[in-house]
Amino acid sequence: MSWITVVWSINVGACLTLAAFYCAVWCKQRENWVHLLFSCSAVAAAAISAFELGMLNAQTVEQYQALVRWIHLPTWVLTVSFVGFVRLYLRAGRRWLAWSIYGLRTLVLIFNFISPVSVNFRTITDIRHFSWNGEMVSMPVGLPNPWGLISSFSLLLLLIFSVDATITVWRRGDRRRALLVGGSMIFGAILAWHVPLVIWSIIEVPFFLGFTYTAVVAAMGYELSSDMARGARLARELELSDKRLNLAAASADFGLWEWDLSKDEIWVTPTRRAQLGFPVSGKITSDDLISRWHPDDRDKVRQALRNAIENGKDYDAEFRRVLADGSVRWVASRGRVQVNKQGEPIRLLGISMDITARKQAELEAARQRHDLAHLARVNALGELSSSLAHELTHPITAILSNAQAAQRFLDADNVDLNEVREILKDIVTEDQRAGEVIHRLRRLLRKGEPQKHSDDIDLNEVIRDVLRLMRSDLINQNVTVDTDLAQNLPPVSGDRVQLQQVLLNLVLNACEALADCDSSERQLLIASKSETSTVQVSVTDRGRGIPGGKPEQVFDRFFTTKKEGMGLGLSICRTIINAHQGEIWATNNSDRGATFHFSLPIVRSDALSAASSKVLDGSALTATDASAPRVAAPSVLLGPGANGSGEEEPAVSASERLARKEAVITD
Amino acid sequence: MPSSPSPTVFVVDDDAAIRKAVLRLLRSAGIAAAAFASPTEFLAQYDPNTPGCLMLDLEMPGFNGLQLQTALAEKGSSLPIIFLTGHGDVSKSVQAMKGGAFDFLTKPVNAKNLLPAIRAAIERDAVARGEQAKFSEIHARLDTLTPREREVLQHVVAGKMNKQIAGDLGITEATVKMHRARVMAKMKVQSVAELARLTERCGIRGTNSLKSAA
C-alpha cells in the first residue's frame, strides 16, 4: 500500500473519530450546537480526504470527472459548518463576511453542477500519472474553468474571516485559543490556496485540501482533551467543595435542598437525608418529604410553597419536622424559585436550618409572658374583688328575698301557687345571673393556653364584657362611662381574655386618673372604630393627664406615677398588644386628661400576607396575583387528598381544586 | 283628725330584681311598699304625708343613697331610713349613721333582720308622726290666744297666784281671773298642771323672773 493511501486514510480516520466524538458530546448536551457544527465539518473534511484519495488513484477521465465534481459538496458543508463553528465557538468573525462566504460557496456549488465537468475544470481530457515523493499519483489534464475564480475569491474571504476572527479572540485576551485555534485555521486557509495554484498548473502537487482542515481538527482535539482534563479537575474540585459544603452544612446544622418541579425530585444534603431517614441514594419525591413534616404543619408549608411557586416569591416557612428517630425539630426553610426562559418555575433551591433551640426559647418567652399576664390579671381582679363581690351580692340578695317571700306565702292559709311559681322562676333567673358573673370571672382568672388565638373577636363585645365586669367598681368610684362603638366592627384575631385584660387595665388606669376629680367630672369615653386595616379602641379620661410630656414612657416596665403601683399594668398591655401584632400608644388630650389607644390588625378573609401567616397558624390561602405565571404545581401541594391516592391528578383538576378552595376561604 | 294613709315602705334600689324580690317579701309580711329605681324617681313622687320608712340602697350610679338622705333632711323629712349596702364600707356607714340613719343592713339581707327593722322604723315613724300631730294641735290652740291671754298663760304656768299676776301686769285680780278662765277653756285643759305639761312640750316656759330680773 502506498504511503499516500495510508496518510490520506489516517486523515479520514482522524477526522471521523473526532467527528464521532463531538457528535456524542452533542447528543449529551443538545443545547450546545457548536459540537454538532464541528462534528459536521470534521465529517466533511474526512469526506474531502476520501474524495482526494480517490482522485489521486483515479484511472479514468470519467472517474476523475465525477470525483472532482462531487468533492464540492463536502467542501460546501465544510465551509458552511466551519464558518458557523468559528462564530459560535470563538464568538468571533464578522457576520457579513460569514454570509458572503456562505453566498459565494453556494454560488460555487451551483456553478459546479451547471458546468459540464466542474467549477474548476472546463474539460478534462486526460489523466497523467506522475511520480511524487516516490509514489505515482493521477493528475488531470484539461482546461481550467474561469468560474473557478469565484471559488478562489471565497477562499480569500475565508482567509480574511479567519484572520479577523483570530484578531478578535486575541484582543479579547484569550491568546492561547487565538494562537491554537485561530493559528491553525489561518494556516489551513493559507494551505487551501494550493488548489487554484494546482488547477492553474502553477505548482505540481497532489490535492490535499482535506489536510488543510487537519490542523483545525488537531487543535480541536487538543482543546477537547484539555476540556476533559479541566472537566476532570473541576469535578474533583466540585467534589471537594461539595464535601466542604456538606461539612459546613452538617456542622452548622444547615440542610441544602433542591426541588426539581418537573420531575418532582428532591435533593438534600447527605446529613439531612440521613436525619430524615432516607436511604443514602435514591429518589426523594415531595410526597416523601412531606411525610416527614409534622401533620399539623403540612398545610401551612404547602401553602407557603405554592405561594412561592405561583407568585415567584421567596419561600420562607417555619415548621416542625419529625426525624427518623421520632424526635420533633423546628426548622426554618428558605428558598427561591428558578424559572426558565419562558418564566415558568422549574426548580426551587433553598436551605433549611434547625431552629429548635430558638423556637423553644420563643415558646418559653411566650409562656413567661403568658404567666406574667395571668398574674397581672389576677392582680387587677384583686383590685376589683370587692366590687366583684358586690356584683354577686345583687342576685344573691334577690334570691334570698324571693325565697323567704315564698316561704312566707307557703305558710299562709291560702297559698297562691302562681305567685310561688313566679318567684321560683325569678330565683332561677337570678341564679343564672350570679352564674354568669362567676363564669366571667373564672374566664379571666383562668390561665389558658399560650398562643391560643381565635379569629373572630369582636372588640365591641370585649368592651361590653369588661364594662359589665367593672359595673360595680365604676359605680363605687362614681365614674360614668360613655361608649361610642362603631357598628359592624371587623373581627380581629387574638386571645380574648388577654384583650379583655388590656381594656380592664386601661379602664382601671383611667379611673385612677379620675380619683382626684370632682365626682361630676369623673367621666370616661370608650370608643371603637375601624380603619383601613386595623380596628382601633380608645379610652379617654378627663383626669390629670400624663405628667412629664412623655406619653410613651407610661408603657415602660416599672414606670409608675402611683404610690402603690408596681408599674406593670401598662407594660403588660403593651406586651399583649405587641404579641397581637398591634400597637398601643397614649396621648394627652388638648384640654385635659389623656387618651390611651390601641389598634389591632383586621382578620382578612380574602388575603393573608406571608408575614401574617407566620404568626397566625393560618388556614386561609394567599390570593394569587392574576398576572403572575400560573403553573400546575405538583399535586402533592394541593392538599392531603392528593396524598397516596396513587393516581396523578391532571393539572386542570388541580387548579380547579385550588379555585374551589380559594372560593371557600374568601366566603 | 283626718285619716292618714297606711304606712308604706319606700324601696329605692337600682337593681330591678332586688326591688321586685323585696316588694314580694314585704307583701308576704303584709307591709305595703312602693319601689323606685333611683333617688330622683323617689323624690319626684314622694308625698311627705305618707307614713312608713325608706329602704335605701347605698351604692347607686349618679345620685346615691347618702345624697338622698341629705336631700330629705334638707326638706325637714323625718322619714326613718334603713340603708342597705353590698359593701359594708365603713366610712360610708359612719356618714349614714351620722346623718340619722335608722338602721344599716348588709346585702344579702335576711328577712329575720329586715322585717323587724322595717316594723321598728314604721313604728318610730308612727310615734313621731303622733307627736307631731299633738304638737300641731297645741300650737293651733295657742294660736287662738290673745297676746294678753298668752302673757297670763306664761305667768300661770310659772306657778304665780292671781294676785301676783295682777300686780305684775298692772291689772285687776278680777281681770286676771277672767283671762285665766278663757285660757283654760281655749287650751281645753282642766287643771293648771295639765296646762303646764302641754305648754312645756311646745317649749313655753313660765316668766316668773320677768319682773324680778327687771
Q: What is the 3-state secondary structure of B105-127?
A: EECCCCHHHHHHHHHHHHHHHHH
What's the rounded Cα separation, in Å, for the pair A269 and A139? 68
Residue of chain B minimizing CA distance to A407: B28
Across chain B, where does the E strand assignment appear? 8-12, 32-36, 52-57, 81-85, 103-106
pLDDT value at position A625?
A: 36
What's the rounded Cα separation, in Å, for the pair A107 and A94? 20
pLDDT value at position A174?
A: 85
Residues of B with CB under 8 A from a CB of A: 15, 17-18, 20-22, 24-25, 27-29, 59-62, 64, 86-87, 107-111, 114
The verdict on a CB contact (< 8 Å) between B28 and A475 is no
Residue of chain A minimizing CA distance to B22: A401
pLDDT value at position A161?
A: 92
The verdict on a CB contact (< 8 Å) between A397 and B18 is yes
User: Which of chain A's residues have a Cβ under 8 Å away from the Cβ of B62?
Assistant: 480
In the predicted structure, residue B55 carries a pLDDT above the cut 60:
yes
Testing the interface with A: which of B20, B22, B28 to mutate, by most A Cβ within 10 A? B28
To which residue does cell 307614713 refer? B51
User: Which of chain A's residues have a Cβ under 8 Å away from the Cβ of B86?
Assistant: 389-390, 393-394, 397, 472
A589 to chain B, any CB pair closer than 8 A? The answer is: no
Burial code (b: 16+ CB inside 10 Å, e: under 16) for B5-26 equals eebbbbbbbbbebbbbbbbbbb
Q: In chain A, which among 422-481 make CB contacts under 8 A with chain B?
A: 423, 426, 429-430, 433, 472, 474-476, 478, 480
To which residue does cell 425539630 refer? A329
User: Which of chain B's residues have a Cβ under 8 Å away from the Cβ of A430?
Assistant: 17, 21
Percentage of chain A exceeding pLDDT 70: 87
Judge contact between A316 and A304, C-beta under 8 A: yes
What's the rounded Cα separation, in Å, for the pair B180 and A425? 71
The 10s digit of each residue's pLDDT in A253-296 is 788 888 888 888 888 888 878 877 888 888 888 888 888 888 88
The verdict on a CB contact (< 8 Å) between B24 and A433 is no
Average pLDDT of the residues in A506-527: 84
Residue of chain B minimizing CA distance to A428: B17
Provide the edge-to-edge strand list for the sheet that holds B81-85: B32-36, B8-12, B52-57, B81-85, B103-106
The 10s digit of each residue's pLDDT in A124-158 is 888 888 888 888 888 888 888 888 888 889 889 99
**Residue B20 is nearest to which of A409, A412, A426, comparing CB atoms?**
A426
User: Which of chain B's residues have a Cβ under 8 Å away from the Cβ of A400?
Assistant: 21, 108-111
Confirm or reject CATH 3.40.50.2300 for domain B8-133, answering yes or no.
yes
To which residue does cell 302562681 refer? A418
Q: In chain A, which among 479-538 make CB contacts under 8 A with chain B?
A: 480
What's the rounded Cα separation, in Å, for the pair B67 and A373? 40
pLDDT value at position A558?
A: 60
The contacts found for B183-187 with CB under 8 angstroms, 24 or more apart, are B183/B145, B183/B149, B183/B152, B183/B153, B183/B156, B186/B141, B186/B144, B186/B145, B186/B149, B187/B138, B187/B141, B187/B142, B187/B145, B187/B153
Question: Could you give the residue ranges of the DSSP H alpha helices within A317-458?
Answer: 356-383, 385-411, 417-445
What's the rounded Cα separation, in Å, for the pair A30 and A342? 19
Q: Quickly state the pLDDT bin for B18 (edges 50, 70, 90).
A: very high
The verdict on a CB contact (< 8 Å) between B17 and A430 is yes
Question: Could you give the residue ranges of the DSSP H alpha helices within A29-141?
Answer: 33-56, 61-70, 72-85, 95-114
Judge contact between A161 and A90, C-beta under 8 A: no
**Residue A475 is nearest to which of B60, B109, B110, comparing CB atoms?**
B60
The DSSP H or E segment spanning A595 is strand A594-601
Taking phi first (over 0 means left), then psi (-120 to 50 degrees means alpha), and beta for anything else, what does residue A352 get? beta
A405 to chain B, any CB pair closer than 8 A? The answer is: yes
To which residue does cell 372560593 refer? A663
Average pLDDT of the residues in B72-87: 86
What's the rounded Cα separation, in Å, for the pair A112 and A70? 9
User: Which of chain B's residues have a Cβ under 8 Å away from the Cβ of A423?
Assistant: 24
What's the rounded Cα separation, in Å, for the pair A129 and A605? 96
User: Which of chain A's residues have a Cβ under 8 Å away from the Cβ of B82?
Assistant: none
User: Which of chain B's residues have a Cβ under 8 Å away from the Cβ of A426?
Assistant: 17, 20-21
Judge contact between A320 and A301, C-beta under 8 A: no
The verdict on a CB contact (< 8 Å) between B109 and A389 is no
The verdict on a CB contact (< 8 Å) between A408 and B29 is yes
Least Cα distance to A573 among A599, A593, A544, A543 occurs for A599
What's the rounded Cα separation, in Å, for the pair B83 and B94? 11
Amino acid (1-letter code) at residue A296: D
Residue of chain B minimizing CA distance to A408: B28
Amino acid (1-letter code) at residue A91: R
pLDDT value at position A200?
A: 83
Please spell the DSSP secondary structure of A491-545, one letter per residue.
Answer: PEEE-HHHHHHHHHHHHHHHHHHHTTS-GGG-EEEEEEEE-SSEEEEEEEE-SS-
User: Which of chain B's residues have a Cβ under 8 Å away from the Cβ of A394?
Assistant: 15, 17-18, 86, 107
The verdict on a CB contact (< 8 Å) between A402 and B15 is no
- The region of weakest confidence among A41-45, A163-167, A388-392 is A388-392
| Longest CA span, chain A | 160
Query: Smallest CA–CA separation between A519 and chain B, in Å?
Result: 9
Least Cα distance to A388 among B62, B86, B194, B48 occurs for B86
Q: What is the distance between the terminal CA atoms of chain B, rounded to a whole angstrom? A: 43
**Residue B22 is nearest to which of A401, A409, A472, comparing CB atoms?**
A401
pLDDT value at position A559?
A: 61
Judge contact between B124 and B80, C-beta under 8 A: yes
pLDDT value at position A563?
A: 52
Higher pLDDT, B113 or A547: B113
The verdict on a CB contact (< 8 Å) between B59 and A390 is yes
- The number of angstroms, rounded, from the C-alpha of A538 to the middle of its chain's C-alpha atoms is 41
Q: Quickly state the pLDDT bin for A647 (edges 50, 70, 90).
A: very low
Amino acid (1-letter code) at residue B93: S
- The number of angstroms, rounded, from the C-alpha of A477 to the middle of its chain's C-alpha atoms is 59
Judge contact between A124 and A141, C-beta under 8 A: yes
What's the rounded Cα separation, in Å, for the pair B11 and A175? 113
| DSSP tag of A293 | B
To which residue does cell 287650751 refer? B187
Give the length of chain B.
214
Q: Compute φ and ψ for A627, nearest 5 degrees.
A: -80, -15
pLDDT value at position A549?
A: 67
Query: Smallest CA–CA separation between A416 and chain B, in Å?
Result: 11
Give me chain B's average pLDDT, please. 84
The 10s digit of each residue's pLDDT in A56-98 is 888 888 888 888 889 999 999 999 998 998 888 888 888 999 9
Average pLDDT of the residues in A454-465: 88
**Residue A390 is nearest to which of B61, B64, B87, comparing CB atoms?**
B87
pLDDT value at position B206?
A: 65
Average pLDDT of the residues in B141-170: 86
Q: Is the peptide bond before A206 cis (omega within 30 degrees of 0)?
A: no
Percentage of chain B exceeding pLDDT 70: 93
Judge contact between A69 and A117, C-beta under 8 A: yes
Q: Quickly state the pLDDT bin for A645 (edges 50, 70, 90).
A: very low
In the predicted structure, residue A340 carries a pLDDT above the cut 50:
yes
3-state secondary structure of B104: strand
| Longest CA span, chain B | 74
What's the rounded Cα separation, in Å, for the pair A309 and A381? 50
Extract the C-alpha cell encoding B145: 290666744
Judge contact between A274 and A253, C-beta under 8 A: no
User: Which of chain B's residues have a Cβ under 8 Å away from the Cβ of A405?
Assistant: 21, 24-25, 27-28, 111
List the beta bridge partners of residue A492. A457, A602
To which residue does cell 488531470 refer? A140
pLDDT value at position B3?
A: 52
- The number of angstroms, rounded, from the C-alpha of A611 to the middle of its chain's C-alpha atoms is 15
The DSSP H or E segment spanning A664 is helix A651-666
User: Please, how many CA atoms are within 13 Å of residue A258, restricted to the half-sphere of its CB?
Assistant: 8
In the predicted structure, residue A658 carries a pLDDT above the cut 70:
no
Higher pLDDT, B153 or A424: A424
* CATH no. of B144-213: 1.10.10.10
- The region of weakest confidence among A356-360, A553-557, B66-70, B105-109 is A553-557
What's the rounded Cα separation, in Å, for the pair A450 and A437? 24
Residue of chain A minimizing CA distance to B61: A475
**Residue B108 is nearest to which of A397, A405, A433, comparing CB atoms?**
A397
A386 to chain B, any CB pair closer than 8 A? The answer is: yes
What's the rounded Cα separation, in Å, for the pair A326 and A33? 51
pLDDT value at position A636?
A: 40
Give me chain A's average pLDDT, please. 81
The 10s digit of each residue's pLDDT in A587-601 is 888 888 889 999 999
**Residue B108 is nearest to which of A400, A408, A433, comparing CB atoms?**
A400
pLDDT value at position A615?
A: 36
User: Which of chain A's residues have a Cβ under 8 Å away from the Cβ of B35?
Assistant: none
Higher pLDDT, A46 or A227: A46
The verdict on a CB contact (< 8 Å) between A400 and B59 is no
pLDDT value at position B21?
A: 93
Average pLDDT of the residues in A570-579: 84
C-beta atoms surrounding A63 within 10 Å: 15
The verdict on a CB contact (< 8 Å) between B59 and A480 is no
Query: Smallest CA–CA separation between A334 and chain B, in Å?
Result: 60
Query: Smallest CA–CA separation between B42 and chain A, in Å?
Result: 19
pLDDT value at position A641?
A: 39
**Residue A401 is nearest to which of B24, B59, B86, comparing CB atoms?**
B24
In the predicted structure, residue A399 carries a pLDDT above the cut 90:
yes
Burial code (b: 16+ CB inside 10 Å, e: under 16) for A488-503 equals ebbbbbbbbbbbbbbb
What's the rounded Cα separation, in Å, for the pair A431 and A446? 22
List the beta bridge partners of residue A321. A293, A329
Domain ranges of chain B: 8-133, 144-213
Q: Quickly state the pLDDT bin for A605 (edges 50, 70, 90).
A: low
What's the rounded Cα separation, in Å, for the pair A543 and A479? 11
Query: Smallest CA–CA separation between B77 and chain A, in Å?
Result: 26
Residue of chain A minimizing CA distance to B21: A402
In the predicted structure, residue A492 carries a pLDDT above the cut 80:
yes
Query: Smallest CA–CA separation between A541 and chain B, in Å?
Result: 18
pLDDT value at position A562?
A: 58
Residue of chain B minimizing CA distance to A411: B28
Average pLDDT of the residues in A484-511: 87
pLDDT value at position A102?
A: 92
A397 to chain B, any CB pair closer than 8 A? The answer is: yes
Average pLDDT of the residues in A338-353: 86
Looking only at the bridges linking them, the beta strands covering A480-485 and A454-457 are: unpaired
Q: What is the dihedral of CA A584, A588, A589, A591, to 10 degrees?
A: 170
pLDDT value at position A438?
A: 87
Average pLDDT of the residues in B55-80: 85
